[in-house]
């Protein structure tokens, strides 16, 4: 049994990770500024409500801990990260700086920083049909919005702590992680959850609005595959950034069509061309992660979206 801290344990990836590690028999402490409480069953040994933008709270959270999974961040979907810049940079740089420092001071054995595909250059993502992004493609730097710059800066800070402080660290770069028990309304939800909610709320027959022209492309990784890959990376000897995602490229229109088919409804799509849509195309190259970890996603997009839609539909029905 290890003593593990999961920051951001009140959020989507963090709560799923805490539950997995807890079910494996570890002592799991979660820390967050707020808790969504979508997961109903017991999923941790200790729950701390802390503002991790303060060093003293990070020191409290990491005390007596062997491993840190640092998911805490001020973040959201494309509508959020294209409209909020200063808070994202300010909050996340403070959280990550103090979590790194506290982990060193409290002699944490291993630290994981959750990075993002938003670190990759905009100039490699200007058309829908794109090649998968390789880890080395990150430079020359031109990240996506303030959120991407903050993630890339923190990757460099983690490297500095590895070199100067001897911190044993891991850096997954996540590509559009989705699944049940995540944010699905309020402005911070990402595309799969937003579309699932729109379809769930729509009448039958009905209409939903797609942000952008629907031709922008992404790849999506289901939460269970993400957790499996992240734990494999944490337990490995690999200390450099590594893609965790899928290499199946789909358009936003195709994503919506899959969800509509799952719902069984007759839905017409309209397009809001003035809404933010981010880069035109983004896909993950999984060559390195397959080589290093022997990991690749197993859950198909259709299977994952079925689970996600059923959960969000249930939540929408409860709200009604």
The verdict on residue 183 lying in a domain is yes
Range of the domain at 276: 178-218+248-283+299-314
The pLDDT assigned to 80 comes to: 84
Residue 262 belongs to domain with CATH number: 3.90.25.10
The verdict on residue 291 lying in a domain is no
The pLDDT assigned to 83 comes to: 87
Same domain as 154, residue 118: yes
The pLDDT assigned to 216 comes to: 97
The verdict on residue 319 lying in a domain is no
Same domain as 163, residue 31: yes
List Cβ neighbours of 117 (8 Å cut-off, separation of 6 or more): 133, 173, 174, 175, 176, 243, 245, 282, 284
The answer to whether 236 touches 223, Cβ cutoff 8 Å, is no
The answer to whether 33 touches 7, Cβ cutoff 8 Å, is no
Looking at the annotation, which residues are catalytic? 147
Q: Where are the alpha helices (DSSP H) in the chain?
A: 12-23, 55-62, 78-81, 86-105, 145-164, 191-201, 223-235, 252-263, 287-293, 301-319
Q: Which two tokens stand for residue 238?
A: 């690999």
- What distances in angstroms separate CA 164 from CA 62, 101, 104, 158, 161, one per listed residue? 20, 12, 11, 10, 5
The pLDDT assigned to 169 comes to: 98
Q: Which two tokens stand for residue 189?
A: 């939800």
List Cβ neighbours of 266 (8 Å cut-off, separation of 6 or more): 204, 205, 206
| Structural domain count of the chain | 2
Q: Give pLDDT tens digits for 85-113.
A: 999 999 999 999 999 999 999 999 999 99
The pLDDT assigned to 4 comes to: 98
pLDDT tens string for the chain (320 positions)? 999 999 999 999 999 999 999 999 999 999 999 998 788 899 999 999 999 999 999 999 999 999 999 999 998 888 888 888 999 999 999 999 999 999 999 999 999 999 999 999 999 999 999 999 999 999 999 998 899 999 999 999 999 999 999 999 999 999 999 999 999 999 899 999 999 999 999 999 999 999 999 999 999 999 999 999 999 999 999 999 999 999 999 999 999 999 999 999 999 999 999 998 899 999 999 999 999 999 999 999 999 999 999 999 999 999 98
The verdict on residue 100 lying in a domain is yes
Residue 34 belongs to domain with CATH number: 3.40.50.720
The pLDDT assigned to 304 comes to: 98
The pLDDT assigned to 43 comes to: 96
Same domain as 127, residue 32: yes
What is the C-alpha separation between 76 and 81, in angstroms, rounded? 6
The pLDDT assigned to 277 comes to: 87
The verdict on residue 68 lying in a domain is yes
Label each residue of 217-247 as H, E or C: EECCEEHHHHHHHHHHHHHCCCCCEEEECCC
Same domain as 233, residue 205: no
């Amino acid at each position: 049994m290890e003593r593990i801290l999961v920051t951001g344990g009140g959020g989507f990836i963090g709560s799923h990770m805490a539950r997995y590690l807890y079910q494996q028999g570890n002592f799991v402490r979660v820390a967050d500024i707020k808790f969504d409480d979508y997961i109903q069953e017991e999923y941790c040994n200790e729950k701390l409500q802390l503002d991790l933008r303060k060093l003293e709270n990070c020191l409290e959270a990491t005390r007596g801990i062997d491993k840190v999974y640092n998911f805490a961040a001020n973040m959201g979907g494309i509508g959020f990260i294209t409209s909020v810049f200063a808070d994202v940079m300010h909050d996340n740089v403070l959280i990550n700086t103090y979590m790194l420092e506290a982990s060193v001071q409290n002699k944490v054995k291993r630290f994981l920083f959750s990075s993002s595909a938003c670190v990759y250059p905009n100039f490699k993502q200007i058309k829908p049909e794109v090649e998968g992004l390789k880890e080395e493609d990150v430079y020359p730097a031109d990240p996506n919005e303030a959120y991407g710059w903050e993630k890339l800066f923190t990757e460099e800070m983690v490297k500095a702590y590895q070199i100067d402080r001897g911190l044993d660290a891991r850096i997954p770069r996540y590509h559009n992680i989705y699944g049940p028990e995540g944010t699905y309304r309020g402005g911070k939800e990402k595309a799969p959850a937003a579309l699932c909610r729109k379809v769930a709320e729509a009448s039958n027959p009905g209409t939903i609005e797609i942000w952008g022209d629907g031709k922008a492309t992404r790849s999506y990784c289901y939460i269970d595959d993400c957790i499996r890959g992240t734990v494999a990376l944490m337990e490995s000897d690999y200390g450099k950034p590594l893609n965790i995602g899928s290499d199946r490229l789909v358009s936003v229109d195709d994503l919506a069509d899959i969800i509509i088919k799952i719902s069984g409804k007759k839905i017409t799509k309209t397009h809001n061309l003035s809404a933010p849509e981010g880069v035109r195309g983004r896909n993950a190259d999984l060559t390195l992660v397959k080589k290093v970890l022997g990991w690749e996603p197993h859950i198909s997009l259709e299977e994952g979206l079925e689970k996600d839609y059923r959960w969000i539909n249930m939540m929408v029905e409860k709200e009604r």
